[in-house]
């Protein structure tokens, strides 16, 4: 593997480096008094063990004064001698698996693993996914080939094409889905519902509707099926922030301002999944588009529920899956897009769809606070029309990089690797 650190320098334990122009304040609140304006690249000492309050770190400035600095403008620096890595035994590791034009993310924890989506394009992508999972379980023999849960954000084939192969090859504790069995991947969705009840032991089925999520309030929906892991020490938390809008009886949970196109668009029925491991947070928004994004922002406005360190970019980097207000709410350190290579110039590919769009890439470039070594990539001006882009921010893509591995520890320290 090649190591691509987000952190530009080595330093002593418990420090942060300033990445953007920022104000140090007297208290962990935007309205509090201003203390200083540290330079980009300044290294500040973390206080209080690095625990964040309302999104702020308590820090000591180079001149000895103390204050509070917002998390999105700084990055924690690994201790000297740590070689930029976090301890495998105390971390979450997210594997954004290269399945060509599709999504599949494996999250491993000290006590288990979950899979979010099992899509891809074609037999080669399916083989890569299964081989990757085989290799993972060969390494993690303690898990006995078991995924605590498989989540399918929505029933499109690029998100569930390999669901049947995964569910028959490995043990699955639960299947969490949006309650919708229509769309290009409906045959696999219906197969899974039957398989879950026929296999022994039965796989727990958990449809999640938008009405149910809204009834849970502005903290997201969770229970023992949605969040099946209970690790000693740092226990991961899994919550659903948006659900399917079509109810089992065929009625619809329909926002008043949505048109027929918004409601008929399966992407807008995607589960939005938040995963927390201590101070490290991931957000998986499926393929939600502008209408669902607007609803999501409105629901969680004034909360930290959308604030995440790592964002899986919605809809493969499409023109209608990312907005500036959404990125402002998430304030990611790292963004990862799952899509195919632009060089495969045929139907149902990133080339044919124009993924990722330059307008989306520009938004991500401006929003993420992490850095990476400069990589020359291709982004779409339109369908089938691509341009070069010099990417030096922490925006990754399976179509550019292959499988992307993001590891975070309970204190919020993150590193990124590219699987080779």
Indicate whether 83 pLDDT > 60.
no
Confidence of residue 219 (pLDDT cuts 50, 70, 90): very high
pLDDT of residue 344: 94
Asked if 397 contacts 337 with a C-beta cutoff of 8 angstroms, the reply is: yes
Confidence of residue 42 (pLDDT cuts 50, 70, 90): confident
The half-sphere exposure of 398 on its side-chain side, counting CA atoms within 13 A, is 29
> Could you report the per-residue pLDDT of 239-291, keeping only the tens digit for each?
999 999 887 777 888 888 898 899 888 999 999 999 999 999 999 999 999 99
Q: How far apart are the first and last CA of the chain?
A: 5
* Mean pLDDT, residues 77-106: 73
- CATH code of 88-418, in short, is 3.60.15.10
Q: Is there a common fold for 7-77 and 88-418? A: no
> Could you report the per-residue pLDDT of 348-383, keeping only the tens digit for each?
999 999 999 999 999 999 999 888 989 999 999 999
Confidence of residue 7 (pLDDT cuts 50, 70, 90): very low
**Residue 252 DSSP code:** B
Rounded distance between C-alpha atoms, residue 307 and residue 328, angstroms: 9
Indicate whether 238 pLDDT > 80.
yes
Provide the strand spans (E) within 231-384.
Answer: 237-242, 272-277, 280-284, 310-312, 334-337, 371-382
> Could you report the per-residue pLDDT of 56-70, keeping only the tens digit for each?
899 999 888 999 999
pLDDT of residue 3: 33
pLDDT of residue 287: 96
Beta bridge partners of 45: 15, 60
pLDDT of residue 5: 44
What contacts 24+ positions apart, CB below 8 Å, involve 404-407? 404/95, 404/96, 404/336, 405/1, 405/93, 405/94, 405/95, 405/96, 406/93, 406/94, 406/96, 406/282, 406/310, 406/334, 406/336, 407/85, 407/86, 407/91, 407/92, 407/93, 407/94
Classify 186 in phi/psi space as left (phi over 0), alpha (psi -120 to 50) or beta. Answer: alpha
* Mean pLDDT, residues 324-340: 96
> Could you report the per-residue pLDDT of 135-185, keeping only the tens digit for each?
999 989 999 999 999 999 999 999 999 999 999 999 999 999 999 877 777
pLDDT of residue 327: 97
**Residue 73 DSSP code:** G
Indicate whether 84 pLDDT > 50.
no
pLDDT of residue 420: 58
Asked if 16 contacts 44 with a C-beta cutoff of 8 angstroms, the reply is: yes
Residue identified by tokens 């495969």 is: 344
Domain ranges of the chain: 7-77, 88-418
Indicate whether 78 pLDDT > 70.
no
pLDDT of residue 89: 66
Count of other CB atoms within 10 angstroms of residue 303: 13
* Mean pLDDT, residues 92-115: 96
> For 7-77, which CATH superfamily applies?
SH3 Domains (2.30.30.40)
């Amino acid at each position: 593997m090649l190591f691509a650190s987000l952190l530009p320098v080595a330093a002593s334990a418990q420090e942060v480096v300033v990445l953007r122009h920022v104000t140090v304040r007297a208290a962990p609140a935007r309205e509090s008094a201003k203390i200083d304006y540290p330079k980009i690249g300044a290294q500040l000492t973390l206080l209080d063990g690095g625990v964040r309050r309302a999104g702020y770190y308590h820090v000591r400035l180079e001149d000895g004064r103390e204050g509070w600095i917002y998390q999105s403008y700084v990055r924690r620096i690994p201790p000297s001698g740590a070689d930029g890595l976090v301890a495998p035994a105390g971390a979450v590791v997210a594997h954004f698996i290269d399945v060509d034009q599709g999504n599949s993310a494996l999250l491993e924890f000290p006590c288990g693993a979950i899979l979010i989506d099992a899509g891809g394009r074609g037999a080669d992508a399916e083989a890569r996914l299964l081989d990757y999972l085989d290799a993972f379980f060969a390494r993690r023999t303690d898990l006995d080939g078991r995924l605590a849960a498989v989540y399918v954000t929505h029933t499109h084939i690029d998100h569930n094409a390999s669901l049947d192969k995964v569910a028959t090859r490995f043990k699955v504790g639960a299947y969490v889905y949006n309650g919708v069995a229509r769309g290009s991947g409906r045959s696999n969705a219906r197969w899974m519902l039957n398989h879950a009840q026929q296999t022994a032991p039965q796989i727990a089925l958990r449809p999640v509707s938008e009405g149910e999520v809204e009834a849970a309030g502005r903290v997201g929906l969770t229970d023992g099926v949605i969040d099946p892991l209970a690790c000693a020490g740092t226990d991961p938390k899994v919550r659903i922030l948006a659900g399917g809008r079509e109810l089992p009886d065929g009625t619809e949970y329909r926002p008043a301002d949505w048109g027929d196109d918004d409601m008929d668009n399966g992407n807008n029925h995607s589960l939005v999944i938040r995963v927390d491991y201590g101070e490290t947070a991931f957000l998986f928004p499926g393929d939600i588009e502008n209408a669902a994004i607007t609803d999501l922002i409105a629901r969680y406005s004034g909360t930290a529920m959308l604030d995440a360190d790592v964002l899986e970019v919605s809809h493969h980097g499409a023109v209608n899956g990312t907005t500036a207000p959404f990125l402002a709410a998430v304030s990611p350190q790292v963004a990862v897009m799952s899509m195919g290579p632009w060089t495969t110039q045929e139907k149902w590919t990133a080339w044919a769809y124009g993924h990722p769009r330059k307008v989306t890439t520009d938004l991500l470039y401006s929003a993420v606070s992490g850095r990476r070594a400069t990589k020359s990539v291709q982004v779409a001006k339109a369908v089938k029309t691509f341009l070069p882009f010099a990417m030096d921010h922490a925006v990754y893509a399976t179509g550019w990089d292959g499988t992307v591995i993001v590891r975070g520890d309970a204190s919020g320290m993150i590193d990124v690797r590219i699987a080779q």
